[in-house]
Amino acid sequence: MTFPLSPVDPDLDLVLERVIDVPADLVWKVWTTPEHLVHWFVPKPWTVTACEMDLRPGGVFSTTMRSPEGEEFPNSGCYLEVVPGERLIFTDTLLPGFRPAPAPFFTAGLFLTPQGDSTLYRAVAVHGDSAARQKHEEMGFHEGWGTVVGQMVDYIKAM
């Protein structure tokens, strides 16, 4: 189901799956347009202060997250696969141009399946070992990724 992403290994990976009542083409749009993504991508009151996308394998996907205290956290990676409306795979293990990254952590896959006007939304975080998975879980994967899906749905409905 997730090819070319590795099949999910419960010991290594994290999955968020939900049916959301917005259409897949709009989910794709807000995931692949910086002007839209900045409005929902991090749990409020955090904000996204910068975002760059070059939507092709090897192309940049970067965001800068800003804490309520004003501290900024830049993240840079690249896309690995882009199938419009269906599938987006990106990683922080490689910088743009496929250069090995200084602090590799995970690869992410977003999988969208239209269900009428709703969408089966599936986000997978793939890690290299169980310690990375656990760290990601303790960082609040489920709450965080769940919160931003809710923010995204609200944002789409208000578009």
Distance of alpha carbon 75 from alpha carbon 72, whole angstroms: 10
Q: Which of 1, 4, 116, 138 binds its own copies (CB under 8 A)?
A: 4
The residue among 82, 118, 89, 84 whose CA lies nearest residue 106 is 89
Q: Which residues pair with 45 in a beta bridge?
A: none
Among 45-53, 113-121, 124-132, 142-150, the segment contacting its own copies (CB under 8 A): 124-132
5 binds its own copies per the rule CB under 8 A? yes
Helix or strand run (H / E) with residue 50: strand 47-53
Q: How far is the CB of 45 from its own copies (least distance, A)?
A: 30
Please say which residue, 62 or 155, places its beta carbon nearer to its own copies.
62
| Count of residues in contact with its own copies, rule CB under 8 A | 33
Q: What are phi and psi of 67, to 5 degrees?
A: -75, 165
Stretch that binds its own copies, among 2-10, 19-27, 115-123, 143-151 (CB under 8 A): 2-10
Q: Which of residues 23-52 bind its own copies (CB under 8 A)?
A: none
Q: Could you tell me the smallest distance in angstroms from the CB atom of residue 13 to its own copies?
A: 9
β 99-100/94-95 pair status = antiparallel
| Angle of CA points 50, 55, 61, to nearest 5° | 35
Looking at residues 59 to 118 of the shown chain, list those that interact with its own copies (rule: CB under 8 A).
59, 80-81, 89, 91, 93-102, 104-107
User: Residue 91's closest CA among 109, 112, 72, 73?
Assistant: 109
Write phi, then psi, for 58 (nearest 5 degrees). Answer: 90, -10
Site for its own copies, rule CB under 8 A: 3-7, 12, 56-59, 80-81, 89, 91, 93-102, 104-107, 126-129, 132
